[in-house]
Amino acid sequence: MIAILDFGGQYTRLIARRLRELGVYTEILPPDVSAERLRGLQPGGLVLSGGPASIYDQGAPRADPGILGLGVPVLGICYGMHWLAQQEGGVVERAQQQEYGKAELTSYGGDLFQGIEGEFVAWMSHGDSVVQLPQGYAVSAATRDTPVAAFERPAARRYGVQFHPEVVHTPKGTQVLDNFASLAGLQRDWNNDQILDRLIAEVRERVGSDRVLLAVSGGVDSSALALLLARAIGPQLTAVLVDHGLLRLGEREQVEASLSALKVPLVTVDARETFLRALAGVSDPEQKRKIIGREFIAAFSQEARLRGPFRYLAQGTLYPDVIESAGGAGSSGIKSHHNVGGLPEDLDFELLEPFRHLFKDEVRELAALLGLPDTLRLRHPFPGPGLAVRVLGEVTAERLDLARRTDDIFISALREFGLYDQVWQALTVLTDLRSVGVMGDHRTYSYTVALRAVTSVDGMTADWARLPDDFLNTVANRIVSQVHQINRVVYDISTKPPSTIEWE
C-alpha cells in the first residue's frame, strides 16, 4: 500500500481516491506519525500531501525525519514538496510570483513524467516555492513563474511536484501518480468489491449485536447506507426520515415510496414546525447549520427513546463534508456541515459513519453493487440542511416556498431538455436581494433568484456548466411567470475553488 501523510490539504483524500482508482490500496495517516509505526505498516511508498500552512509558519505540521530512512519511494505534493526540500537541505521562500489556478508546464521530464507527451496543464495553489534545490536533486518541470515546478532524486526515488496531480484540473496528473505507483512496484488489486466487503465487515465488527438508528434523507448517500446496513446487520437497523420542512417539492413522498420498494423499513417524523421555530430570525449560515444539526439530534433522540434502545446513530457523511468542516488534521475550515462537528457533547449515541472516507462517486459505485436503482443512485447531491442553506437570510415558510418552486422549475427543465445527467449538481438560490422590475406595465420590487449548475467528478473541484442559452432563457421565463415574487434570474459562473458549490 501507499501511506499518505496528511498535512491538512483539502485534496488529501483526493490523492487517496486517485491512487485507489489505479488499483492501489492507500491509507491516510497524521503528518507526525512515527517512522517506527510506518515501518510496521510496511508501505510500498509515501506521499506527503499539500496543506494550507507555510513551511515557516509557527506550528506548521512536521513529519518525522526518520520516514526518509524507510527506503521506499517518496512523493511530496505542494507543502509536502516544501517539507521534503527543506529536510534535504534545500531552500523554500515566499514566491515573488504566486500561482493559483491553471498553469502550463514550459518543460518537464524524468521518472514521474514517463510516457507523457504534449501540453501539460497543472493546477497550482501555492505562495511558497523551492528556490534552491537540495544536493543530488534535479529540476524535472517548470512553469513561466515557477522555475522548480517539480524535482527528483532518482537514485533515492524521491520526488516533488509543486502542482496538484490529483485534481481533475491537472488532466495528465493521474499519469504522474500512476508512474509513482509503478516506481514503487505495487500491486493493483484494490477495487469496489473489496471496499464493499471491507465496509460490511467493519460495520459487523463494530456494531455486534447492538441496534442502529439511521438518518435517511432520500439521497444516494443515506439510501446506499440503508442498503449497506440492511445487508450487514439486518433487523438491527431502524431508518428514520425527519421531515424538517426544508425538503424539495414532493421529496418526502418520493423517499417513502423509493425506500419502501427497496424493502427498507422507514419511520417518518414530522418536525416541520419545530425546525421553522428554531430557525426563526436566524440569517447567519453557520448558525443555521448548527441549529439544524441540533434539531436533528433532538428528533433522533426522541425517536430513539420511543423505539430504542439504540447504541449507534448512522449518517451518510462523506469526506468532502469532513474536510470542509476542518475534520482532518491541520485542515482549514471552510463551512460546517450539520452532520460534522456540530453534535452535542451529551449525545446519547455513538456515531457510525461508514462512508466518512469516501467520495460521492465512490458511494455511487458501491450503490450500484448494492442494487440501488439509478433513479436514486444518479440523483444530484442535496445538502443535509436542505433548502435552509439555499435561502439567503432568514428562513420562513414563505421564502422556503419560493425556493422550493423555483428549484422544481429548474430541475424539471433540466430533465425535459435532457441535461440533468450532464451536470453534477444543479440548484436555485433565493437571494436576499430585491430589485426593481416591470410586469404588466406595473413596477415590481421583488426577489432575485440565482441558478447554479456545475460539472464535477467528486465535488472537491467544480466548473460551472455551460448550459444552452435557449434553456436558460426558458427557465428564467418560467420562473418569473410562475413565481410572481421573483422578477430577476441570474446564472452563477463561479468555479470551485474559489467558490463552493452551495452558496451557504
Q: Which sequence positions are flagged as catalytic?
A: 78, 164, 166
Please spell the DSSP secondary structure of 270-298, one letter per residue: E-HHHHHHHHTT---HHHHHHHHHHHHHH
Q: What is the DSSP letter of 386?
A: G
H-helix or E-strand spanning residue 201: helix 192-207
Cα 395 from Cα 178, distance rounded (Å)? 48
Handedness of CA 71, 77, 82, 85 (dihedral sign): positive
Task: Tell me the β-bridge partners of 150.
Answer: 141, 161
Q: What is the DSSP letter of 134?
A: P
Q: What is the DSSP letter of 490?
A: E
Between strands 138-143 and 150-153, the pairing is: antiparallel
Handedness of CA 498, 77, 89, 150 (dihedral sign): negative
Cα 373 from Cα 21, distance rounded (Å)? 23
What value does the CA radius of gyration of the chain take, rounded to a whole number of Å? Answer: 24
C-alpha cell at 111: 521518472
Tell me, rounded to whole angstroms, the distance of Cα 311 from its chain centroid. 28
CB atoms within 10 A of CB 463: 15
Cα 28 from Cα 324, distance rounded (Å)? 17
- Sheet with 312-314, strands from edge to edge, namely 266-270, 237-243, 212-216, 312-314, 350-352
What residue has cell string 425538503?
247
Task: Tell me the β-bridge partners of 123.
Answer: 102
State in Å, rounded, how far the first CA of the chain is from the last one: 38
C-alpha cell at 152: 527528483
Cα 73 from Cα 233, distance rounded (Å)? 41
Task: Tell me the residue length of the chain.
Answer: 504
Cα 226 from Cα 236, distance rounded (Å)? 12
Cα 77 from Cα 163, distance rounded (Å)? 7
* Measured CA distances, 306 to 91, 243, 246, 299 (Å): 63, 17, 24, 11
265 cis-preceded (ω within 30 degrees of 0): no
Q: What is the DSSP letter of 78?
A: T
CB atoms within 10 A of CB 162: 28
